[in-house]
Amino acid sequence: MRHLKAWLGIGLTAATLVAAAAAPWLAPHDPLRADFAQSLRPPGTPGHLLGTDQLGRDLLARVLHGARLALFIGACTVLITAVGGGLLGLVAGFAERWPSAVLMRIADVQLSFPFILLAMTINAITGLGLRNIILSLSAAGWVVYARVVRGEVLSVKQRDYVQAAAALGMSRARVLFRHVLPNVAPSIVVVASLQFSQFIVAEAAISFLGFGVQPPTPAWGSMLSESRDFLYVAWWLAAFPGVALALTALGVNLLGDWLRDTLDPKLRV
Amino acid sequence: MRAYVLSRLAQTALVVVLSLTAVFGMVRLSGDPVLLFMPMDIQAKDVNEFRQRLGFNDPLAVQYARFMGGAVRGDFGESLRYRSDALGLVLERLPATLLLGGTALGLTLVLAIPLGVVSAVRRDSLFDHAATVATVLGQATPGFWLGLMLIYLFSVQLRWLPTGGTGTLAHLVMPSVVLAAFFAARIARLTRSAVLEVLGEDYVLTARAKGLAETRVIAKHALRNSAIPIITLAGLEAGQLLGGAVITETIFAWPGLGRLTVQALLNRDFPVVLAAVFLISVMYTLINLAVDLLYGWLDPRVRLRA
């Protein structure tokens, strides 16, 4: 069962990666090209495997290009939060006194507010668009890394090899990056993999509510939002982008579970 | 105990002040607030008049002091759209959100805890595998998409339930199921692993050895001891339910706090946004305080210190 789940996770994630990387070649049409003569065709229409939307755009092409956008946003956000939050956590764990206290207070404040609402508020105020959604998700998401890494550093730095390195006169920065960081890295990887699907789903939800990626860019969230007006006549517009989103989230979740069981079974996120 | 609660309440106040400051700062630093508040087609002299009237010509520190002074008294100003008290509007929507959130939380616990316990007790049975598949799928399915699919199935095709709105029990069914689905999946998984962990403990072996009925072993010894992680997560999730409500309320046109916040953000109605931020962060921190107090009751070894 465990291996089955791991392989399913790897398979789904690989499929999403291939879809995203090869979208321009796999997609039979331009995802933005409208063709009113072909609007709202059901799945199975010749030339349009998944059907077309209200403007006659090919749904398969839009779902495939949506994978690009979702993975791009997820990857950027995870990278920014892992590096930023990880560094802050390292510093907070190592330099205990005030940096630690200040950082943890900020983290508490941020955690006292629902993640999605925070990202959405930042977007509404700073303006919409691809760059701002990545920044707002990052601003809302770094806290988890900072807390997990700080906790790990606090325990790792009591170990003998760290004490020994410091006693031998190694500089603090060198101890931090040569001895502490490699031992904390597995936790960062596990948190990153578990956060990745959360970011993708959050981006879709924010775009769905109209605060994220704007039409006509083919993002799964905004496609689902547009599909609401056609629910009575075109179920496929609501079904396929959602299936793509759910399968991507499922694949990454399973992969994350497997990574956690392998690298860091005690971690609870 | 009393000192602990008092210090936690002080921390709550600090958290609320800091989150209001953050949102106030973001609103004020992101450009001319008057232009943000005003419709696009406004005249230049009207802009100046508004700036004067709303006090945006004063130094930032004065504006901040005035805002915080108002906030302490529950005065967040008037909604720019509805021309009525912002906090009043937010409070008016609170009961609908509490009804939805409470129903979803109840549904979550009633579904998830028995599911998790039975999965753990009958580990590797067919039931356990089916439950694992269901919870993994439930966690990966985005709530807003589940909502759309349920509307398609039960409103468009079968015509059993209304697509949205409020009023009858039928209106409550889909929103609360959607809101509960994700959390139920998480809590069921956690319950399973927490109970599995406890079932390996010596005191469970002792309870079995002295001849207690298995149901008693599970209910009295295993479940009570695995309650701490479950309650922790349920408490955190109860807070996140507020975030989930934002999306669910929008899909099902449920007239609650979340939908109001989304509309206020879309309309750039910042007094309402700030009032909503205030109320949500107060509720969130109070829920967490309640969870911490529950620990002490569940596990007498936990001593709550200020």
Nearest chain A residue to B30 by CA: give it: A126
Residue B131 gets which letter from DSSP? H
Whether B268 and chain A come into contact, CB under 8 Å, resolves to yes
ipTM of this predicted complex?
A: 0.84
The residue among A60, A64, A58, A63 whose CA lies nearest residue A39 is: A58
Partners of residue B239 in chain A, C-beta under 8 Å: 112, 114
Give residue B95's identity as a one-letter amino acid code: P
Whether residue B137 and residue A227 make contact (CB cut-off 8 A), yes or no, is no
| Nearest-CB residue to B149 (from A112, A114, A238) | A238
Predicted confidence (pLDDT) at residue B306 exceeds the cutoff of 50: no
Confidence band of B100 (pLDDT split at 50, 70, 90): very high
pLDDT for res A203: 93
Nearest chain A residue to B286 by CA: give it: A112
**Mean pLDDT score across all residues of chain B:** 83
CA distance A241 to chain B (A): 9
| Nearest-CB residue to B144 (from A5, A224, A247) | A224
Confidence band of B260 (pLDDT split at 50, 70, 90): very high
Size of interface A-B (CB pairs under 8 A): 121
- What are B108-125's pLDDT values in tens digits? 999 999 999 999 888 889
Percentage of chain B modeled with pLDDT above 70: 92
pLDDT for res A1: 62
Lowest mean pLDDT segment, chosen from A49-53, A216-220, B240-244, B302-306: B302-306
Confidence band of B164 (pLDDT split at 50, 70, 90): confident
* pLDDT tens for chain A, residues 1 to 269: 668 888 999 999 999 999 988 888 887 888 888 888 887 888 888 888 888 888 878 888 999 999 999 999 999 999 999 999 999 988 888 776 777 778 877 887 777 777 888 888 888 888 788 888 999 999 888 988 888 888 888 888 888 888 898 889 888 888 888 888 888 888 888 888 888 988 999 999 999 998 888 888 889 999 999 998 888 888 999 999 999 999 999 999 999 888 888 887 666 55
pLDDT for res A110: 79
pLDDT for res A204: 93
Mutate to test the interface with A, among B133, B148, B155 (most CBs of A within 10 A): B148
Spatial CB neighbours of A238, under 8 Å, sequence gap ≥ 6: A224, A227, A228, A230, A231, B145, B148, B149, B152
**Segment 11-70 of chain B within 8 Å of chain A by CB:** 11, 14-16, 18-19, 22-23, 26-27, 30
> A102-111 — which CB contacts under 8 Å span 24+ positions?
A103/A146, A103/A150, A104/A147, A104/A150, A105/B14, A105/B18, A107/A143, A107/A146, A107/A147, A108/B11, A108/B15, A109/B15, A109/B18, A109/B19, A109/B22, A110/A140, A110/A143, A111/A143
pLDDT for res A76: 96
Whether B152 and chain A come into contact, CB under 8 Å, resolves to yes
